[in-house]
Structure 1
């Protein structure tokens, strides 16, 4: 029995949502939940230490986390389902698809990576360092790396300050464990084993993870499709409508 806090809403085929490191269901998928729920029964757990999910006492392990999320969906009464992963959540989605091919019907991987490159690792390390400092400083850092330059340029100083305050007030206590797992992920061997229809979505203005990392993922998944959106890593904040349409249009065609 899983202890993860889970949102279940909507109607239709089941769709498991897996959020990213240092995020939550609401932070990473909130703006697209209404659109997705019109077509799918959305099953959206908060990872350990995010939202209302308790943190663990041991380091996170990708295989155990993937199995736990599969248990969440089957426990909600769905024998098979689609999976949408975002950022680090893509690694969980891929692992679930490889370990449970009889249950996972199709994948959408948004802002994914095979493993962190040197630039992304340096950013992750800086994020982890800032966890011990003032939350306001970390919030400004997160804004800078998660959002595209174009998006930030459209915001007023008051809007920027409001976003920073919102981030600093909602930093997940599980962030250290998430970021530690991030550094250990390597999907080189798993991606070629995916048998499900897969859409890979990159973010052309991503300043956290290079868009080239997403293209590398698509190149390793047999028969996958690749597309991108003109936004930063915070896809839900910058391109909610187009993102929801890409996810929906692909999965309803599977």
Structure 2
């Protein structure tokens, strides 16, 4: 796979060739962290365009820019600057709210939505996760914070780890934790896009993780119900972050949706 190509802005990644797919990452993630397997699988047939939010992927922190409208407009602008007039958006977690907002604000640009482990309104599980995340971040104990984030993995993932593997996962999470993660998480906890969802008129699919311990699966189902005509695909044993095997199935479903709707 070729290295990322920076377009117009050092926080924007463009890679691959062909029809576009725009990527909106989750809180505490980045384009490459959340979509690395997607990029590897699809860059031979599609152009992937993504934007790191402030505080992720080397983008400088800017709390004032962490607003849904600003992120949505910036993401659309990045895709337009990359040479595309219309494009589908693949969003993950917080990125689903960014994608919905982009589609509502730019209906002439966004041609479809693929929304993964998302929500139209923050639920109590997410709010409690963000409260704990915030407290641990404020304590300065990055190791404890990383341990907490790893503990939110699916039961199947946690059950597969021995002590050494769990320690390694915590260390990796700590080493890759973005400076802006907690501010992005606070934004996620404030989300309410129900009104925007009801106005959408583009093909949409919503991917539900049945063992999600960050966003309640029922909240993701409600997101699908709020979007006129949206379809829904469930992964009963997946958590908020997919394993490589789960991501392979997800990528196949992404490709099928894009092909069916000629996006």
| TM-score category, normalised to shorter length | over 0.9
CA distance in 1, matches of 2:118, 2:105: 18
Greater relative contact order (Cα < 8 A, sep 6+): 1
Instruction: Determine helix, strand or coil for the equivalent of 1:189.
Output: helix
Kept in 2, the 8 Å contact 1:59–1:177? The answer is no
Q: Is 1:140 aligned to residue 147 of structure 2?
A: yes
Instruction: Determine helix, strand or coil for the equivalent of 2:156.
Output: helix
| TM-aligned CA deviation for residue 50 of structure 1 | 0.1
User: What's 2:182 paired with?
Assistant: 176
| TM-aligned CA deviation for residue 118 of structure 1 | 1.7
Kept in 1, the 8 Å contact 2:126–2:189? The answer is no
User: What's 2:253 paired with?
Assistant: 246
Kept in 2, the 8 Å contact 1:106–1:196? The answer is yes
User: What's 1:206 paired with?
Assistant: 212
Q: Is 1:36 aligned to residue 42 of structure 2?
A: yes
The alignment's TM-score, normalised by the length of structure 2, stands at: 0.92
Q: How does 1:118-157 map to 2 (within 5 A)?
A: 118-132=124-138, 133-145=140-152, 147-157=153-163
Q: Deviations over 1:46-80 (max 9, x none)?
A: 11110021121525211111001111111111111
Q: How does 1:32-111 map to 2 (within 5 A)?
A: 32-58=38-64, 60-111=66-117
CA distance in 2, matches of 1:231, 1:216: 18
CA distance in 2, matches of 1:15, 1:171: 26
CA distance in 2, matches of 1:237, 1:6: 24
Q: Could you list the runs of 4 or more consecutive aligned residues of structure 1 that deviate by over 3 angstroms after TM superposition?
A: 1-4
**CA 1:19–1:127: 2 relative to 1, 3 Å:** same
CA distance in 2, matches of 1:197, 1:213: 20
User: What's 2:4 paired with?
Assistant: none
User: What's 1:12 paired with?
Assistant: 18
Instruction: Determine helix, strand or coil for the equivalent of 2:108.
Output: coil
CA distance in 2, matches of 1:223, 1:39: 27
CA RMSD across the alignment? 1.6
CA distance in 2, matches of 1:60, 1:68: 11
User: What's 2:198 paired with?
Assistant: 192
The gaps in structure 2 that reach 5 residues or longer are: 1-6
Aligned residues: 253
The alignment's TM-score, normalised by the length of structure 1, stands at: 0.95
CA distance in 1, matches of 2:243, 2:12: 19
CA distance in 2, matches of 1:45, 1:224: 25
